[in-house]
């Protein structure tokens, strides 16, 4: 028994410890997260991700969770603040305890984010409030804050207190009511609420103390708020103190690295018409910025628009950068019209100069006579869908984006009765909504027969852009880019400008003309220089269009066509299937390289190939005419007479008086001059062309069969024009 007793005591002690550990509440899971200013889509996305992860862990692990948002000083756009506040107060995060941690003074609209949290913890010396910063908020914004506060997520905040933080003229009073039954209740009220309390409790003793007088800023320090028992739950001096208050582990204070202090910003200029060369430049610089691990890419857009297909591709490429964690910003100092507006809508944020313009994205088509007309309905519908998709992806009113393309689309300004948020909706969107929005005000810029085009101030009011900025320095400040960081615009170089010049219709005419004529001259002279010049012309043709209208398909067809033509000339004499097919492939490849292919073939889509086809046909006819002139005068030119290939004996016959003036002055087209049947020896490899010695003459010959090695005995089988065809014989040279 003596030996068993200690063991029993130990077992009981262990059982007691187990019972205590089971009764003790589990340690909460939590995460600290820095919220920089200005708040943007990337900040909201990061908060949403972390909060949703905590909510999932809370459900799986059955543990309480705490999300601590460390708010940084600075102001933020109202629609972004509303977005983050709505997220924090949403039902899907009801199981996550949200805490606003204010280590430094926070004023302006960012303070509304603190009011949306369950609790607020402040540094004793930090201040919170002065939401309007001396400029009264509009009524819808006030309604949003009132609706947010009246949800009573934070027991230390009510509407009279929040109203005092919003309006410097508002008074905030603490009324302590002692009833007849000696119960004491304390409330934070305004003058109007105080009068109602006095009327409803005539026999009660009411003590009144001032929390905020009229004309005060509505700004409260952490120490003052704790003493008045408003706003804050606790005060703390460090992040560790906050973690200790909520029993969070040390690892909760470690958060993922943000771009703060590690910003890698790049600036890319998009100016001038949106055309293939600009698209090529855009792709090159975008790839360069990504390879340099940029965290922020600013696109300085100053463009009147351009091709719809290229603008859509550029916008989608920019929008996809969000998946790489790259923050994209459109900076519009002057204008982003038509296709340029589409490109801007693909960015996370749009910043504009107050007088800059954006909009007017209606698709147009060029008809005969260089006249512009509105595109057909199916093109308009497609453009509207592109604009709506981009707007929805980036959190902008889709109806207003559509109104940039549809001159008859009306958009109305309404107030959400549940949140007090200002929204912009079309008639169809209002009809599809499951709630009544009350009064509707037509957005003036969407009046009938008018394409939405707004300046920087109007774009901000319509929630299409951030508050306007005056220039690059203010933009850097808004984006949190250090002043010391120098943003050098990546612009098009002289090489890009040359390529742009060579991609025009006139350049296509000249490059095709000179490329073809030089090939013709090379066949007559075989000096090599003309062949090199021709290759340079066609290389410039494809280089100027590469990445835009030209690609690997067009280049492959062109090279295949050249190969077929070469087979016809050197391997299979005559003018047959290979020559015709090769010529057609070359021509088709050049036409395709001059215009962008559409996804689905149609008559309208094929019409745009008319201009490049006419250009190349005109160039081809010019080549034929010039070639005819060259063939007549080339042998007579003193400089070129010595390098023009002529069959053996043609030089002597060219000056025969009996042949001068005849259609065939050399007589080579109708005579073989006794060469047929003569035997000689191959001097060089005939593959198939080369040199052979026939008699005492050195002659350019072409093998009429397989390749012939040097030293092989050959026999002339026929003469066609200036080409002498030979075959290998059984004799040895």
- Long-range residue pairs from 221-228, CB within 8 A, at least 24 positions apart, any chain: 221/122, 221/124, 221/125, 221/126, 221/127, 222/102, 222/122, 222/123, 222/124, 222/125, 222/126, 222/127, 222/128, 223/124, 223/125, 225/122, 225/128, 225/156, 226/122, 226/124, 228/174
- Is the model's pLDDT at 598 over the cut of 70? no
CA pair distance 608, 597, nearest whole angstrom:
9
pLDDT tier for residue 494 given thresholds of 50, 70 and 90: low
Please give the pLDDT value at position 573. Answer: 56
Question: Which residue in 627, 629, 667, 615 sits closest to 646, CA to CA?
Answer: 667
The predicted model gives 377-391 an average pLDDT of 88
Residues 6+ apart with CB under 8 A from 134: 168
**Which single residue is written with the structure tokens 């519009």?**
332
Residue from 689, 692, 687 nearest 712 by CA: 692
Token pair in block for residue 225: 């708020």
Higher pLDDT, 342 or 709: 342
Check whether 61 has a pLDDT greater than 80: no
Task: Count CB neighbours of 50 within 10 A.
Answer: 18
Which class does domain 265-490 fall in?
alpha beta
Of 359, 347, 361, which is closest to residue 475 (Cα–Cα)?
347
Find residue 54's DSSP bridge partners: none
pLDDT tens, 520-569? 777 766 667 877 888 888 888 777 776 656 778 888 888 888 888 777 76
8 A C-beta contact, residue 88 and residue 123:
no
pLDDT tens digits, one per residue of 261-284: 467 889 999 988 988 778 878 887
Asked whether the predicted pLDDT for residue 84 surpasses 70, the reply is yes
Percentage of the residues of the chain whose pLDDT score is greater than 90? 21
- Torsion region of 296: left, alpha or beta (phi above 0 gives left; psi -120 to 50 gives alpha): beta
Q: Are 673 and 654 in contact (CB under 8 A)?
A: no
pLDDT of residue 16: 37
The β-bridge relationship of strands 723-732 and 712-720 is: antiparallel
Residue 375 is given by DSSP the state P
Using an 8 Å Cβ cutoff, are 120 and 154 in contact? yes
> Considering just the CA atoms, what is the radius of gyration of the chain in Å?
41
| Cα distance between residue 133 and residue 142, in whole Å | 14
What is the mean pLDDT of the segment spanning 4-28? 42
Beta-sheet strands, E only, within 384-523: 411-415, 422-426, 441-442, 453-455, 489-490
pLDDT of residue 653: 40
For residue 684, is pLDDT > 60?
A: yes
pLDDT at 490: 61
Shortest CA distance to 212 belongs to which of 190, 192, 197?
Answer: 190
Q: φ, ψ for residue 48 (rounded to 5)?
A: -60, -45
| Predicted pLDDT at 334 | 94
The per-residue pLDDT for range 157-199, each reduced to its tens digit, is: 999 999 999 888 889 998 888 877 778 888 888 888 888 888 8
- Cα three-residue angle 384-386-389, rounded to 5 degrees: 105
| Maximum mean pLDDT: which of 17-21, 27-31, 40-44, 616-620 | 27-31
- Cα 158 from Cα 176, distance rounded (Å): 16
Average pLDDT over residues 204-212: 85
For 119-168, write each residue's pLDDT tens digit.
999 999 999 988 888 777 888 888 999 999 988 788 899 999 999 998 88
C-alpha distances (whole Å) from 202 to each of 173, 178, 179, 263 are 19, 11, 10, 62
DSSP 28-76: PEEEEEEE-SS--HHHHHHHHHHHHHHHHHHHHHT--EEEEEEEPSS--
Rounded to the nearest integer, the mean pLDDT of the chain is 79
Q: Is residue 247 over pLDDT 80?
A: yes
Residue 356: pLDDT band with limits 50, 70, 90: very high
Q: What is the pLDDT of residue 281?
A: 82
More confident call, 421 vs 150: 150
Q: How far is CA 536 from CA 32, 422, 515, 516, 559, in A?
A: 62, 61, 8, 11, 14
Confidence (pTM): 0.47
Query: Can you name the residues that pair with 174 across neighbouring β-strands?
Result: 188, 209
Confidence of residue 285 (pLDDT cuts 50, 70, 90): confident
**pLDDT reported for residue 302:** 94
pLDDT of residue 491: 60
> Strand 689-694 and strand 697-703: pairing?
antiparallel
Tell me: pLDDT of 8 over 60.
no
Q: How confident is the model at residue 655 (pLDDT cuts 50, 70, 90)?
A: very low
Classify domain 650-732 at the CATH superfamily level.
Nucleic acid-binding proteins (2.40.50.140)
- Sign of dihedral through CA atoms 655, 659, 664, 669? negative
If you average pLDDT over residues 76-96, what whole number do you get?
88
656-674 residue pLDDT tens: 444 344 444 444 444 455 7
Residue 272: left (phi > 0), alpha (psi -120 to 50), or beta?
left
| 689-704 average pLDDT score | 83
Tokens of 360: 């007017």
In angstroms, the CA 155 to CA 733 distance is: 112
Question: C-alpha angle 491/494/495, rounded to 5°?
Answer: 100
Check if the beta carbon of residue 701 is closer than 8 Å to that of residue 722: no
**Residue whose structure tokens are 């250090």:** 482
* Residues 387-415: tens digit of each pLDDT: 998 998 888 899 999 999 998 899 999 88
Quickly tell me which residue has 């059982």 as its tokens.
15
- Cβ-contact 362, 451 below 8 angstroms: yes
Q: For residues 358 and 24, what is the distance between their CA atoms, to the nearest angstrom?
A: 60
Instruction: Take residue 25 and report the two structure tokens written for it.
Output: 């509440």
Nearest alpha carbon to residue 560 among 540, 599, 588, 532: 588
Say if residue 508's pLDDT is above 80.
no
Q: How confident is the model at residue 432 (pLDDT cuts 50, 70, 90)?
A: confident
* Strand partners for 664: none
Whether 70 and 33 have beta carbons less than 8 Å apart is answered as yes
Dump pLDDT digits (tens) for 450-471. 899 999 999 988 989 988 999 9
Q: Residue 278's Cα: distance from chain center in Å?
A: 14
For residue 301, the model assigns a pLDDT of: 95
Task: For the chain, give the percent of residues with pLDDT over 70.
Answer: 80
The span from the CA of 726 to the CA of 141, in Å, is: 94
β-pair partners for 65: 29, 96
Give the Cα separation of 407 and 185 in Å (integer): 60
**Which fold, 26-162+215-253?**
2-enoyl-CoA Hydratase; Chain A, domain 1 (3.90.226)
């Amino acid at each position: 028994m003596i030996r068993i007793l200690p063991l029993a005591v130990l077992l009981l002690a262990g059982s007691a410890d187990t019972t205590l550990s089971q009764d003790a509440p589990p340690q909460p899971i939590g995460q600290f997260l820095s919220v920089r200013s200005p708040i943007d889509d990337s900040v909201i996305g990061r908060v949403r991700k972390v909060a949703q992860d905590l909510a999932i862990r809370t459900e799986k692990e059955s543990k309480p969770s705490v999300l601590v948002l460390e708010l940084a000083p600075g102001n933020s756009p109202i629609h972004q603040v509303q977005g983050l506040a709505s997220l924090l107060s949403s039902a899907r995060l009801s199981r996550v305890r949200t805490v606003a941690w204010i280590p430094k003074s926070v004023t302006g609209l960012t303070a509304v984010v603190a009011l949306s949290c369950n609790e607020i913890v402040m540094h004793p010396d930090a201040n919170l409030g002065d939401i309007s910063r001396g400029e009264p908020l509009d009524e819808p914004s006030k309604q949003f804050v009132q609706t947010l506060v009246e949800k009573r997520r934070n027991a230390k905040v009510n509407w009279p207190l929040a109203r005092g933080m919003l309006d410097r003229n508002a008074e905030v009073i603490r009324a302590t009511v002692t009833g007849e039954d000696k119960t004491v209740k304390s409330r934070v009220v305004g003058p109007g609420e105080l009068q109602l309390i006095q009327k409803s409790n005539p026999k009660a003793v009411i003590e009144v103390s001032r929390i905020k007088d009229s004309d005060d800023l509505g700004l409260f320090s952490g120490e003052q708020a704790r003493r008045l028992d408003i706003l804050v739950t606790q005060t703390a001096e460090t992040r560790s103190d906050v973690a200790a208050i909520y029993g969070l582990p040390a690892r909760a204070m470690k958060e993922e690295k943000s771009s703060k202090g590690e910003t890698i910003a790049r600036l890319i200029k998009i100016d001038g018409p949106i055309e293939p060369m600009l698209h090529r430049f855009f792709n090159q610089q975008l790839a360069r910025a990504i390879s340099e691990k940029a965290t922020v890419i600013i696109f300085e857009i100053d463009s009147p628009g351009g091709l719809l297909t290229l603008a859509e591709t550029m916008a989608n490429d920019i929008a996809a950068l969000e998946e790489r964690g790259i923050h994209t910003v459109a900076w519009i100092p002057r204008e982003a019209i038509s296709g340029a507006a589409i490109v801007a809508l693909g960015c996370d944020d749009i910043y504009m100069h107050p007088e800059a313009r954006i909009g007017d994205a209606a698709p147009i088509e060029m008809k005969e006579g260089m006249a512009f007309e509105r595109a057909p309905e199916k093109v308009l519908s497609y453009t509207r869908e592109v604009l709506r998709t981009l707007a929805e992806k980036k959190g902008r009113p889709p109806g207003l984006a559509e109104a940039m393309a549809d001159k008859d689309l009306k958009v109305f300004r309404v107030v959400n009765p549940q949140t007090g948020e200002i929204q912009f909706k079309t008639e169809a969107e209002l009809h599809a909504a499951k709630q009544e929005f009350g009064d509707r005000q037509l957005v003036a810029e969407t009046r009938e027969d008018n394409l939405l085009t707004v300046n920087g101030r109007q774009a901000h009011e319509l929630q299409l852009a951030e508050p306007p900025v005056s220039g690059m320095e203010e933009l850097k400040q808004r984006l949190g880019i250090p002043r010391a960081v120098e943003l050098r615009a990546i612009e098009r170089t002289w090489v890009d400008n040359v390529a742009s010049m060579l991609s025009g219709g006139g350049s296509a005419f000249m490059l095709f003309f000179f490329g073809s004529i030089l090939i013709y001259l090379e066949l007559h002279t075989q000096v090599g220089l003309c062949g090199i010049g021709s290759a340079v012309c066609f290389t410039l043709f494809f280089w100027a269009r590469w990445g835009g209208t030209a690609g690997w398909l067009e280049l492959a067809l062109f090279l295949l066509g050249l190969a077929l033509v070469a087979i016809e000339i050197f391997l299979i004499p005559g003018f047959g299937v290979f020559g015709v097919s090769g010529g057609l492939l070359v021509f088709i490849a050049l036409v395709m390289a001059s215009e962008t292919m559409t996804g689905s073939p149609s008559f309208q889509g094929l019409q745009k190939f008319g201009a490049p086809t006419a250009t190349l046909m005109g160039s081809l006819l010019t080549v034929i005419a010039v070639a005819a002139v060259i063939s007549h005068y080339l042998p007579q030119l003193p400089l070129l007479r010595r390098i023009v290939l002529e069959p053996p004996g043609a030089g002597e016959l060219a000056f025969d008086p009996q042949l001068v003036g005849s259609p065939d002055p050399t007589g080579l087209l109708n005579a073989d001059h006794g060469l047929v049947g003569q035997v000689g020896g191959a001097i060089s490899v005939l593959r198939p062309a080369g040199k052979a010695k026939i008699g005492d003459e050195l002659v350019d010959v072409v093998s009429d069969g397989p390749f012939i090695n040097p030293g092989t005995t050959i026999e002339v089988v026929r003469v066609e024009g200036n080409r002498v065809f030979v075959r290998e014989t059984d004799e040895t040279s």
